[in-house]
Amino acid sequence: MKDNIKILIVDDDLDAVELLTKRFRAEGYSTSEAYDGGQALQKVKEYKPDLIILDIMMPKVDGYEVSKSLKNYDETKHIPIIMLSAKAKIPDKVKGLDFGADDYITKPFDYRELSQRVKYWVAVKVGVEERLNRIQQLEKELIQSERLAAIGQTVASLAHYVKNILFGLKGGLYLANIAIKQNDTDSLKSSWDILENNMGRISDLVLDLVEYSKEREPEFEKCSPNKIADDVCELMKESAKEYDIEIVKNFTSSTDEIFLDPKAIHRCLLNLISNAIDACAFDVSEKEKWQITVSTNFKDDGAVIFQVSDNGLGMGEEVKSKLFTSFFSTKRGKGTGLGLLNTKKVVNEHGGTIDIESNPGKGSTFTITIPKRDLKG
Amino acid sequence: MKKVLIVDDNPDVRKIVSKLIQVSGYKALVAKNGLEGMGMVKEDRPDLIILDVLMPKESGVRMYHELKTDDNFKEIPVIMLSGIPKKSFLKSQKVLDEFSGESAPEPYAYMEKPEEPEELVGLMKEILG
């Protein structure tokens, strides 16, 4: 276990350093040395010792300063420090310990005693390091397994989404073949529509996947937030009606325009409203009616707020915390399927924020805030 | 003409499967969730039910159990269409069995999405002749 234990010897007394160096090396330790406090701090950074023998009385920066400094930093606070001093009184020892020393030996000392103390502190440090490594390892494994779970969930969601599209293609093809055999032009046309529709969904999906993987700067244009919100509401109206959900528009009366990427924001709103529809559709509680309120508003500082509010399922803390890990929203909806993660990415690219408030059983409200941008020329 | 009821919340699936039903020579009945589905079963008794598992407003899990524990309807053959593995579906039925005290038999067939249209058509012919 003495393999490559590194001891840093700090003392302005060259003879003392030489002596200790010889004795430590004879025991199998590796050593390095420093002759004043400043040099010591530098050496610790480079040499990364497992233990430090530290003389107190040194010119410029003394042992107290060195000890205090090292114990202040996460990277060095675990290195045991054995202070050496001619000052033997209790107050001196206490001062040393106050400044962070782990142990204190008075000069002149018997090397054998020092050697024993060194063995002890090295064992302590190794034990602490092992424990820390184990904790770090566990943390890494936890993050990794969460990431795998998210990826697994993502892959599963993606597979599910593609399965749906596949069924559309297979079905459309099957029906088209029959229509051709029976010379039925009308049936052929409607089968063709099904095929076209599903090809379109694959294109959208690929586009979204590519968009997500790219580090893209948003393409800013001056536009009206109301127009974007209105477009999305109109697009989703039919879907919502299928589940007896009403979409209510609550737009600002201001006709101000703001710089943002309209296509990207359109996708975000599409995603939020699609999720809201799911939340209401899957809510089995007794409610008079289900409503999704889409609002726009301007803040005093010129930032724009988009809000999508529903009175559906709502979610608890655990679900809320996992919201941004899964890529794809649930199986239906006019959206391309790329979920909240893409929305969050777009909002971040705009320098904005997305906030969620939710009450299980009562509903959820998603709020996107996009700051004002001054783009000249 | 024999009647086949398709219950699925996905409009594309409803469109395609009703077409498949029609070209096979049967009448297609369509419902978008379990609630609607049960309504249609009571109103216009089908000879075969094709049932999706995951749907809002009464899932296929519930509707299946309701069908199979009702003397009036338990004889109607059911083909399950599903995004979840057969094991999970059967487990869910067991749970419902425990709650209601009645046990439901396994469906005639269990197809995992995406279904092969030929297979679905073949099954329908097998059951209805």
User: CA quadruple A37, A38, A42, A45: dihedral positive or negative?
Assistant: positive
Find the mean pLDDT for residues B103-119: 82
Contacts of A172 in chain B (CB under 8 A): 16
Q: What confidence category does residue A148 fall into, taking pLDDT thresholds of 50, 70 and 90? A: low
d(CA A279, CA A273): 10
More confident call, B113 vs B118: B118
Find the mean pLDDT for residues A249-255: 90
pLDDT digits (tens, 9 = 90+) for A107-144: 888 999 999 999 999 999 988 888 888 888 887 777 77
pLDDT > 80? residue A190 = yes
Q: If we measure between CA atoms, which residue out of A11, A30, A132 comes closest to residue A75?
A: A132
d(CA A192, CA A172): 7
Query: Cβ separation of B15 and A281 shorter than 8 Å?
Result: no
Task: Find which of A160, A165, A178 to mutate to test the B interface (most B CBs within 10 Å of its CB).
Answer: A178
pLDDT value of position A332: 45
Average pLDDT, whole number, for chain A? 85
Gap from B120 CA to chain A (nearest CA, Å): 10
CB-nearest partner of A243 from B16, B54, B56: B56
Gap from A164 CA to chain B (nearest CA, Å): 7
Could you tell me which CATH class the domain B3-128 is placed in?
Answer: alpha beta
CB-nearest partner of A281 from B12, B16, B57: B57
Query: Cβ separation of B57 and A198 shorter than 8 Å?
Result: no
Range of lowest pLDDT (A176-185, A207-216, A339-348): A207-216
List residues of chain B with CB under 8 Å from any CB of chain A. 9-13, 15-17, 19-20, 23, 32, 54, 56-57, 83, 113-118
Q: What is the pTM of this model?
A: 0.51
Helices (H), chain A: 14-27, 37-47, 63-72, 90-98, 111-181, 185-213, 225-242, 262-281, 317-322, 340-349
The domain spans of chain B are 3-128
- The domain A6-109 is placed in CATH, from the list 3.30.160.270, 2.60.120.260, 1.20.210.10, 3.40.50.2300, at 3.40.50.2300
- Go through A197-212 and write b for each residue having 16 or more CB atoms within 10 A of its CB, e for each that does not: ebeebbebbeebbebe
Task: Find which of B6, B14, B15, B53 to mutate to test the A interface (most A CBs within 10 Å of its CB).
Answer: B15
Chain B residue closest to A162 (CA)?
B114
pLDDT digits (tens, 9 = 90+) for A260-303: 999 889 989 988 998 888 888 777 777 778 899 999 999 988 89
Joined together, the tokens standing for residue A179 give: 């229509």
Q: Confirm if B58 and B2 have CB atoms less than 8 A apart.
A: no
Contacts of A175 in chain B (CB under 8 A): 16, 19-20, 23, 117
Q: Which fold has domain A221-370?
A: Heat Shock Protein 90 (3.30.565)
pLDDT digits (tens, 9 = 90+) for A35-87: 999 999 999 999 999 999 999 988 888 899 999 999 998 889 999 999 998 88
pLDDT value of position A254: 87
**A174 touching chain B per CB within 8 A:** yes
The domain spans of chain A are 6-109, 140-213, 221-370
Is cis: bond before A225, omega within 30 of 0?
no
Q: What confidence category does residue A157 fall into, taking pLDDT thresholds of 50, 70 and 90? A: low
- Report yes or no for ipTM above 0.85: no
pLDDT > 70? residue A329 = no
Q: What confidence category does residue A216 fall into, taking pLDDT thresholds of 50, 70 and 90? A: low
